[in-house]
Amino acid sequence: MDAHDTAPVPPPGCPAHGSGGRVPLYGPEFAAAPQEYYEYLRHYGPAAPVELAPGVEATLVTDYAAALQMLQDSGAFRKDARRWRAFNEGKVGPDSPVAPLLAYRPNCMFADGADHLRLRQAVTDSMARVDTRRLSRSTEQISGYLISQFSARGSADLLGDYAKQLPLFVFNELFGCPAGIGDRVLFGISGMFDGINADKATEVLFQAVGELVALKRTRPGDDVTSWLMQHQAGLSDEEMVHQLALLLGAGAEPLRNLIGNTLHRLLTHDRYAREGGLIDEALDDTLWENPPMSNYAPHYPAADMEFAGQQLQAGDLVLVSFAAANTGPALKASRQAGSNRAHLAWSAGPHACPSKEPARQITVTAIENLLNELPDLELAVPEDSLTWRPGPFNRALATLPARFTPVQPARRPGAQPGPAATSQAEAAGTARTGERGGLWSQFLNWLTR
């Protein structure tokens, strides 16, 4: 029987009937049970009609083979979001909640052809210069600092206190951000992804990155910003700002979710503890079953076409469901055969993640360090009471409360007793103006004591 002739039952709470037959990928119902939604979407065939936010229509590719075909076919499918027909026709406005992650910016993610090759090569070459030993040392230092802020309490939110902050701190170090600029980078990226005054956060981020570019033009250093600037691609200041904002944002948010989701898996599946931790295995299982970016990779057909069982017009928005493709029937045999890296969590094709090895290294180091410092770490609430952040793109917990035996932080040589951890509200306030006292400034002060 044809997939379109079946009458699948929508998952509980799914208001598809109110969305013109499109399945909504937002709201608490989807966040609570995404796999039920993906199972339902598979009844449409390899791709399905969805709604990303009220009035924002898209086609979601849920099948592994179809997803791989689209990701690798840069002739038939383009990345330049200026092709997005619904946006150009005013059906989706710049104030839409999904616009910040979909609207065009002049960076390599939204580029095609020669422009993409030039920008992407600059990014790939610069990231390849990151020394793995330096990255481990930096991650361990930052991890130790963040743990020292809550270890004496005996409890922590492993997302807000740890997984959310650690990637941003690591990137601030890799990109050579001084105190005042780094504080505003933290504020800007957090605000963009948390949806709290996103316009202001975006403005703060781009202003801070612009100042970083100006600084490195006159005082280059041993950092990714300077390497990107010195690359033979010859990036302009505007191109520099947009590549850096992309690397900081597109790196920090998925990495935050990957650390959080892997910690969640370790704390809720006893077999990892019984088998000696196995952080790498827990990380791979997370990438398969709970990838940090569940639905993304926006593409636009270059011409009208029939694809994956759907009729598409030029400029239609088409996304890949990494989460659905990874857990679909096509990949079960591959995974059971021991092919642990065949998943699409890092995407594929010319726009695949350029930093998957550093991301793995940061995640494993961060979790190893946390478990070494707090060996009896455990979930502080019943697993079924945890909530997942709503939204069509990310797979991320709202909080991850944990408890452990309190540990007094080790005093650094010559250090004075540090202040209590700064609240997020206080941090946002100081970061807004770049005053001393923001989170990055506090870390730099601690590091130099």
pLDDT higher than threshold 50 for residue 128: yes
The pLDDT value recorded for residue 441 is 83
Q: Does a structural domain hold residue 382?
A: yes
**280 HSE (CA, 13 A, CB side):** 4
Q: Which two tokens stand for residue 28?
A: 């608490």
Residue 117, domain CATH: 1.10.630.10
Name, of 80-89, 183-192, 403-412, the range with top average pLDDT. 80-89
The pLDDT value recorded for residue 448 is 74
The pLDDT value recorded for residue 425 is 36
Q: Does a structural domain hold residue 354?
A: yes
Q: Does a structural domain hold residue 26?
A: yes
| Angle formed at CA 49 by CA 46 and CA 53, multiple of 5 degrees | 135
Q: Does a structural domain hold residue 146?
A: yes
CB atoms within 10 A of CB 9: 8
**Band (440; pLDDT cuts 50, 70, 90):** confident
**Band (163; pLDDT cuts 50, 70, 90):** very high
Please report which helix (H) or strand (E) contains residue 257, including its range. helix 237-268
The pLDDT value recorded for residue 435 is 44
Q: Does a structural domain hold residue 184?
A: no
Which carries the bigger pLDDT value, residue 186 or residue 81? 81
Q: Does a structural domain hold residue 313?
A: yes
Percent of the chain whose predicted confidence (pLDDT) is above 90: 65
The reported pTM is 0.88
Give the tens place of pLDDT for each residue, 200-212.
888 899 999 999 9
One-character DSSP codes across 320-366: EEHHHHHHSHHHHHHHHTT-TT-SSTT--GGGS-TTHHHHHHHHHHH
Q: Could you give the CA distance from residue 324 to residue 320 in angstroms, rounded to a whole number?
A: 9
Q: Does a structural domain hold residue 254?
A: yes
Give the tens place of pLDDT for each residue, 344-390.
898 999 999 888 899 999 999 999 999 999 999 999 999 999 999 98
The pLDDT value recorded for residue 180 is 86
Q: Does a structural domain hold residue 423?
A: no
Give residue for tokens 């990231």: 127
Please report which helix (H) or strand (E) contains residue 78, including its range. strand 77-78
Lowest-confidence pick of 9-18, 121-130, 219-228: 9-18
- Domain of 162 in residue numbering reads as 3-176+221-410
pLDDT higher than threshold 50 for residue 426: no
Number of domains in the chain: 1
